[in-house]
Structure 1
Amino acid sequence: TWTNSSKYKFPEMLSEEDFINENFDIAYFNYFTKLIDFKKARFTSGLIRTIFAKPSNIAKNISIKSLSEHLKSSIEIYCEEYKNIILIAHSMGGLISKAFILDDLNENESTKVKLFLSLAVPHKGSNWANIGGKLARSNPQVIDLKPLSAFLDKVNEDWIENKERIPKTVYYFGQYDEIVEEQNAVSYQVGKKLKVACNNDHFNICKPESKNSIVYKGIKKDLSTYVKEKHFSEDMKPKTFIDDGKLDDELFVLKLLIADVHNSLIDDSKQTFFNAEYMIRSMISKGYDIEELDQLYNNLERLYRIYFNKLV
């Protein structure tokens, strides 16, 4: 699924990026499928650490819903120690992923999946399945992949209802894809910024020939943005303040002392000032434009002055 004509695997390409290697573990999730001329997903090993069990020798097509339950069990067992998961899924794997995410939200009110990268996924079904269904009437996966199937209707309806809770999703589609066309490869109510057009067909979109391809550079950018935002959110959390006396001469502290305000309020003010300064320095070091937050900062400062004046 992920190996290009030079036997170079997409996940191995990604793992060669320093920031990806430092911030992520990469694993494959494998399942059996036989959809007319679709090939069985191969279990691979090598540079990428594989943390999912190898599929059994029993070759049987089961429903997409059942496969999502297999994914759920695999993540719960093999990825128990991970708090944040990114899913990169191709074709039917994306529907398996969506069904898993929705079940996770329903069961836990939240999901470990923080980013979902969708590669040529038939979110609205595939017209190919209508043809394939005539040749494989008993294949549950083909039935699920048909446009307007009961499975797809349910998943898409739940996806829209949970739009405030689902992870950020980026939709990659192939402009030469005859299996899943653009209108089916993008979910409902998706903005332009979350759609990426690639000069690929259905099969080579997940096996870029070089690191200069759109799909590779796009996913690399998505992962980089996620890491940056994750580190930023961690830096914005309040830090433990140790009062070493360095803030004793700050003007706001002197005012509180003159007003004979209780020591606990002075300590609290120092803690607040410390975290505000720490967060600003952290934002500057990561390249954020402080001017963009000036208005918010001014509003907060104004509120602080209002309540400070009430106090003194």
Structure 2
Amino acid sequence: MEQDFIFDQQRDKCRNLILFVHGFTGDSSKTWTNKNGSSFPSLLLENAYIKEHFDVGTYRYFTTLLDLFADAKEKTRWIKNLIRRKTHKKERNLEISELASNLSNHFRFTLRQYDNIYVVAHSMGGLLTKCLVSDELKQNGSTKVRLFISLAVPHQGAELSILGGIISDNLQIDNLNPVKHFINSLNQRWVSLDTKPATKYFYGNYDDIVTKDSAIAIDNIEKDVISCAEDHNSISKPSDKSSIVYISVQQFLEEAHKHTHLQDKGFQKLPADEKLDDELFVIKLIIADIAEESQTQAKEVFFNAEYARKLFSSRHDKKQIQLLFDNIRQLYKDSYDGYLADEIMNSGQLLAEVHTKITDSDSNLLKSLSLALQPYHKKGMLHQLANDGESDIWWSQERDLTTRGDKK
């Protein structure tokens, strides 16, 4: 009986797993192995960061083109197992929802040691992953999947499946049909998810099986899309470490791991040796006569935001961070205009109002691609803005920094 999982690296205390999931008619070896005999998992393990922080494995499930092939394959296995006196399990093509359910149960039991799973999925394996994530989030409100690398996945279906449906009643071929219920239902569920793992969509310029339009899922947030000069088969087996697929996947894994670490670490209290009293954002709070307790809170969220800034270092991350800064600044400006027009409102109320707006806007205006960024990080970003001498963030009508000593 073939194993469901093959590990290139597995350690008892590791909590992070990179899991490769093959596609239609693929397997746990050929899908990922290039013509030089090097596999995608083994190439990744040559990277020091990956090797230190992750286990790496591949998932295998049964998939054949025609039921005729499945029967022939099963007869061969039956004979081999009879000779070896092994128990034989007759397998057949299962529809994608059943494959997703099986993998979800593996997450719960077989892979229970892992808190964080980073999926690299090719072709139909991506639909399996997408179905699993959608089901787990709907049923449990959570999933172990922290990153979803989508390699030439037919999110809008594959037209060749229509021809395949003529010659075979394979349930998996039916699931890939762009006009059938499964694809459309899965897309609707995916779009409706409030939170989902960071997803990176790859498509091959020479892919005649999954087009660019199909390889990019319909979504309600901005998508991160990577094009590469590959076809449908070569995209899952980088030729070497200079391949754009290898370089980008390695980078995404490292970034996602750091983001997961930030999420797991949670809110951090300000260390005793962290001196922020001379920071510009603190001086502005003092000038506005903001209560010391509120100043302490501002220092703590600023500290958390600074910690996050160090982890969100890629160009894509910085673009998302800048968008958050722009929206946070606009929330502040709206409140500050109201403060200037209200003779009763004081500086402390202004600060509290902006903090409340940031919390209330976390699921819409300030929604980010990374689940690691919490409302307290975004409150800290407000004070990062105030710490920028070129950013017009103040908490009182008084804007003279020389009055700092009068407020102490």
TM-score normalised over the length of structure 2 = 0.58
**Cα drift, residue 28 of structure 1:** 1.3
Deviations 1:146-205 (A, max 9, x none): 11211111101111111x312121111111112111111111147785111111111111
**1:100 maps to 2:127:** no
**1:159 maps to 2:207:** no
For residues 285 and 70 of structure 1, do their structure 2 counterparts lie closer, same or farther at Cα, with a shift above 3 Å needed? closer
3-state DSSP of counterpart to 1:114: strand
Distance of 1:287 and 1:209 partners within structure 2:
29
Pick aligned residue for 1:149 from 180, 205, 210: 180
**1:221 maps to 2:251:** yes
Q: Is the 1:235–1:279 Cα contact (8 Å) retained in structure 2?
A: no
Aligned ranges for residues 119-158 of structure 1 at < 5 Å?
Answer: 119-137=151-169, 139-158=170-189
Distance of 1:179 and 1:96 partners within structure 2:
18
Indicate the RMSD between aligned Cα atoms, in angstroms: 4.0
**Cα drift, residue 30 of structure 1:** 0.8
Q: Is the 1:86–1:114 Cα contact (8 Å) retained in structure 2?
A: yes
Match in the other structure for 1:30: 60
3-state DSSP of counterpart to 1:105: helix
Deviations 1:234-259 (A, max 9, x none): 667223766x9x999xxx9xxx9xxx
Distance of 1:191 and 1:283 partners within structure 2:
21
3-state DSSP of counterpart to 2:242: coil
For residues 15 and 247 of structure 1, do their structure 2 counterparts lie closer, same or farther at Cα, with a shift above 3 Å needed? closer
3-state DSSP of counterpart to 2:51: helix
TM-score normalised over the length of structure 1 = 0.74
Distance of 1:85 and 1:279 partners within structure 2:
25
3-state DSSP of counterpart to 2:91: coil
3-state DSSP of counterpart to 1:28: strand
Match in the other structure for 1:45: none
**1:19 maps to 2:49:** yes
Pick aligned residue for 1:3 from 22, 33, 39: 33
**Cα drift, residue 224 of structure 1:** 2.3
Pick aligned residue for 1:169 from 183, 199, 210: 199
Deviations 1:254-274 (A, max 9, x none): xx9xxxxxxxx97x6796477
Match in the other structure for 1:86: 118
**Cα drift, residue 284 of structure 1:** 7.5
Distance of 1:304 and 1:84 partners within structure 2:
45
Distance of 1:305 and 1:104 partners within structure 2:
50
Runs of 5+ unmatched residues, structure 2? 1-30, 71-87, 330-381, 388-392, 399-407
Distance of 1:76 and 1:305 partners within structure 2:
56
Q: Is the 1:169–1:194 Cα contact (8 Å) retained in structure 2?
A: yes
**1:205 maps to 2:204:** no
Identity %: 33
Question: Number of matched residues?
Answer: 278
**What amino acid maps onto 2:218 in structure 1?**
Y
**Cα drift, residue 277 of structure 1:** 7.0
3-state DSSP of counterpart to 1:62: coil
Q: Is the 2:100–2:131 Cα contact (8 Å) retained in structure 1?
A: yes
**Cα drift, residue 117 of structure 1:** 0.7
